[in-house]
Every structure is written in structure tokens, then in C-alpha cells.
Amino acid sequence: MSDLTHSTAAELAAKIHAGEVSSVEVTRAHLDRIGAIDETVHAFLHVDTDGALAAAQRVDDDVAAGRPVASPLAGVPLALKDVFATEGIPTTCGSKILENWIPPYDSTVARKLRDAGVVVLGKTNMDEFAMGSSTENSAYGVTRNPWDLDRIPGGSGGGSSASLAAFQAPLAIGTDTGGSIRQPASVTGTVGVKPTYGGVSRYGLVAFSSSLDQGGPCARTVLDAALLHEVIGGHDPLDSTSIDAPVPPVVAAAREGAAGDLRGLRVGVVREFTGEWYQDGVIAAFDQAVEALRGLGAEVVEVSCPHFDYALPAYYLIAPSECSSNLARFDAMRYGLRVGDENGNSAEQVMALTREAGFGAEVKRRVMVGTYALSSGYYDAYYGQAQKVRTLISRDFERAFGDVDVLVSPTTPTTAFRIGERVDDPVAMYRADLCTIPANLAGTPAMSVPAGLSDDDGLPVGLQVMAPALQEQRMYKVAAAYEAARDKAWGGPLINRVPELEVAAR
């Protein structure tokens, strides 16, 4: 076990900026860790060794010359979900249709990371075009959960969450359309944040569902997530959906919350997030987390959000409808895979052959569902009705936040399920996002913080904290206070209980 790979991002940054350790040393330690165990975990699709070491050297040069570092996270390594365009580095979205595609530009998130001196180690595995809850839908193989290699690491951002839990990176970036940051965080015992919709630029983020997609920070601690949030957040004129408002003071809130005082704060427990789909161990861990919040001085009340029960079916009409439109751009004519043009086929035939060969089963399923929902005679009955439900869910949030400061719930109904367990049952797979989808539909921020281990199977459980739009500081404060109390009760960070993975022979 290396101190460099098992330290927090904040700890590493402090040592790098003080000259106690070099960014190159830290980066090499993480690259070595990836080389030793990623054949087993398969968190990464591409590792940019030369680029990472060059970025680390630039930070070390600044420190040696006494120049100010670019940001509080300068020199710290990070794993980037392979749905963000990265100039000169492959971007596949976990799909064969983009195999070997190298973008000629950076997404805004990638550019902000580079400008901040953050060291991008490489691109992480994901469900194809972010469509999935297990990272089993990647065209490039399954990612495994470091807590139990026979189980999923969540999805669609399973590669990012697994890289954190496997100590391959101290920071990661994910995207959250229906829970793809928070659900993987929950099942891997890490922290994942979905900011307010429009709070982090979507420019260069390959779109799945444009009204739902949101990039966000992933980390092993609440403070690390806050530090990363402030690096990637903020207005971007290149994104028409970007909010022209300051990034909420999330780092200050995380530091304040760590003091453990939640007096005067009202926490609402969402009544609808319980029932037959929830494991007993998940509910027990959640109940203990709520009691911990009460012990920190928060007033806890029950809140009803009745339309949350309709979030799942509404989402699975809205998201596929938008993906059927967004994925039409992959037509074999401009970039990416091209199949069948050598046999004199027409453009239409080439397009059909390419999409057949390039898209996986789940992508095809959602494109067909979305195309049907948008078709003549069905638009009002399906897509239109789903949008009305979305409005009702937003109103549920508005009413709830009129009474409480934050809402809490389990992040997921179950712990990590076994690889292959739900691949033939799409509805069971979709239920993994029961608790996360409402925040996407409303555009409000939400995060998952580890809430202990389930008595059922000893696997991580997540506590979801939700806040009003542009009020992320509320949930960071609550999550940091809970994290400090949990670590004290458990005798240290929960993530340190991940089984040590077998290192590959060199």
C-alpha cells in the first residue's frame, strides 16, 4: 500500500505545493498502480502516460521556480470518463462506433482541468453512450467493483468510481443523466456529485439526453469533491444551457461541515424512497445515517414527494427520446466507424450497416423506444405526458424545499449486484436509479456520500443528499458533517476497508 496512492487529493496537493513530494512522483505512483491492477479492474480504456507525466512536470517546474500554482488541485492526478472530448486522446464513449476517434478539440471540462494543472491519467470505461447502470454495456468489456470483483461498480460511470475505489486515482470526473455519478459512488463507497443542471459546462460532452446530462466531480472525500467542483464549475459561453452564475461556495461549506455542527438545519427524509425493491441492509444503514444527522443537531422530518413514484417511467420516455435524436449524428458519413462502403452500397445502406455493427443492444433498445415515443400519433401520449410528470416532480421539490433545507434518501435501493445478474432484465436494471432520477428531471443538485456497509452482504451503501438549484453548499455541508461523524464511528475512512487487490506479475 502506497501513501501516495492512498492519500486524499487535498493531502497530495498540499505536499506537492510545499515541495515535499513532486507531482511526477505522485503521477508515477498512480500509473504504476494502474499498470499493476487494471487488468483485473478494467477501469481505464486509455492511459495517457506521456501526457500525464508532462503535465505533472509542468506543475513541478512552477513549484521549483516559486511561481504560483494554477489551482488548489494543481499536480493531482485524475481519471476522466470517456464521454468528454479530449484533444489528441481517444474518446470512444464506450462504443465501437467511435473506436479510435481522436477529437481535434477539448471539452470545456477537459480544458479547465488542464488549465488548473490537474494531471489527467487517462479515460475511464463506461456503459456505451452512458446508457446503463452497471458498466456491463461497454463495447470494451466489463469493469469490476474493487470491493468484490464479481460485482458491478455501478454505471454508467463505473470506470471512474472503480478507479477511485481501487486507488488508481484520487479524483475522477463522471456524468449524471439519471444517476450515473451517484449510483456508482454508492456501490463503490466513494463520493459522487451531480451539480445543478447547467452548473458545469456540457460543451464537448458527447450528448445522451441533452436536458438531463450533467458532468460532475467524483472523489473519495467530500472536501476533495468540493475542490474539484470549483475547478470544473462555472459559466461557459460555448454551452447555451450553462448558467451565468458564480460557482456556489462548496469548498467553504465542506470545511464548515467537517466541524460537525448542523444545528438550525432541517433535513427532510423522502417518504417515497422505500418499499419492496429496497434491501433491508440498505434501509438499516440509511436509518443509522439519519440518526447521525439528528445527533449532529439537525432537525429531521418526513417529507412526501408523491410524484417521485412516476419519475422512473417518465425518465425512460424522455431520455430515450432525446438519445434517438442525439445519436442520429453517428451516420458513418463524417467520423467514426464506417461499414459496407466497399461493396457499392448506397449511403443509406452504409448508414444502416454501420449503426448495426457500431451500436450495442442497450443503445439500440433506447433509440427504438425514443423514436417510437416521438413518432406521429404517439408524441402527446408518451413524450408529452412524461414532460408533464417532469413538471410535477419539479413542483414536489419546490414544495419540499419550502419546508426543509435538504432532502435525504438512500442513493440506491440495493448494494452492488453481481455481474450478469440483471443483463436479461432491463426493468430490474433500471430500478438501480429509482432514487437518483428525480433530481435529474428537476435539474436540482444531489450527491452520494458513503453511509457504511450493509448488514446483508458487507458492501457499501450510499446516503443521497439533495438541495435546491444552485444551493450545492447546503448538501456539501451536510455531507461533510456526516462524513466526519461516520469516520469517527468507524475508526477511519470507510474506503480503507476495500480489500487489497492482487497485483499482476510484472
* pLDDT tens readout for residues 392-417: 999 999 999 999 999 999 999 999 99
Cell readout for 44 is 481505464
In a domain? residue 81: yes
Q: What is the DSSP string of 395-411?
A: HHHHHHHTT-SEEEEES
Mean pLDDT of 13-24: 98
Q: β-pairing, 171-175 with 77-81? A: parallel
Q: Is residue 330 part of a domain?
A: no
* Cβ neighbourhood burial of 460 (10 Å; 0-12, 13-18, 19+): buried
Where residue 503 falls among pLDDT bands split at 50, 70, 90? low
Q: Tens of pLDDT along 349-364? A: 998 998 999 999 999 9
List residues bridging with 418 in a β-sheet. Answer: 151
pLDDT on residue 505: 47
Mean pLDDT over each residue of the chain, to the nearest integer: 96
Residue 370 lies in a domain: no
Rounded mean pLDDT, 477-498: 96
Q: Could you tell me if residue 77 is inside a domain?
A: yes
Task: Quick: pLDDT tens for 58-76.
Answer: 999 999 999 999 999 999 9
Of the CA atoms within 13 Å of residue 28, those in its CB half-sphere come to 6
Q: Would you say residue 353 lies in a domain?
A: no
Burial bucket for residue 207 (CB in 10 Å: 0-12, 13-18, 19+): buried
Domain count, the chain: 1
Active site residue 107: no
User: Which CATH number do you get for residue 78?
Assistant: 3.90.1300.10
Is the residue at 322 inside a domain? Answer: no
Give the model confidence (pLDDT) of 321-345 as tens digits: 999 999 999 988 888 899 988 778 8
For residue 477, tell me if it sits in a domain.
yes
- Is 180 designated active site? yes
Task: Give the C-alpha separation, 44 to 52, whole Å.
Answer: 14
Residue, of 332 and 211, whose pLDDT is higher: 211
Give, in degrees to the nearest 5, the angle at Cα 451 between 448 and 452: 140
Catalytically annotated residue among 180, 321, 448, 454: 180
pTM for this model (two decimals):
0.97
Q: Predicted confidence band at 370 (pLDDT cuts at 50, 70, 90)?
A: very high
**Catalytic-labelled residue, pool 7, 22, 23, 81:** 81
d(Cα 145, Cα 258) in Å, to the nearest integer?
28
pLDDT digits (tens, 9 = 90+) for 150-176: 999 999 999 999 999 999 999 999 999
Residue 168's domain comprises 3-309+390-497
Annotated catalytic residue within 7, 156, 160, 209: 156
Neighbours of 361 (CB within 10 A): 11
Determine, yes or no, domain membership for 323. no
pLDDT digits (tens, 9 = 90+) for 411-462: 999 999 999 999 989 888 999 999 999 999 999 999 999 999 999 999 999 9
- What confidence tier does 118 reach under pLDDT thresholds 50, 70, 90? very high
Average pLDDT over residues 199-208: 97
Phi, psi of 300, rounded to the nearest 5 degrees:
-110, 130
Q: What is the average per-residue pLDDT within 95-119?
A: 97
* pLDDT tens digit sequence for 128-142: 999 999 999 999 999
Supply the pLDDT for residue 506: 40
Reply yes or no on whether 201 is catalytic.
no
Q: What is the pLDDT of residue 426?
A: 87
What confidence score (pLDDT) does residue 504 get? 58
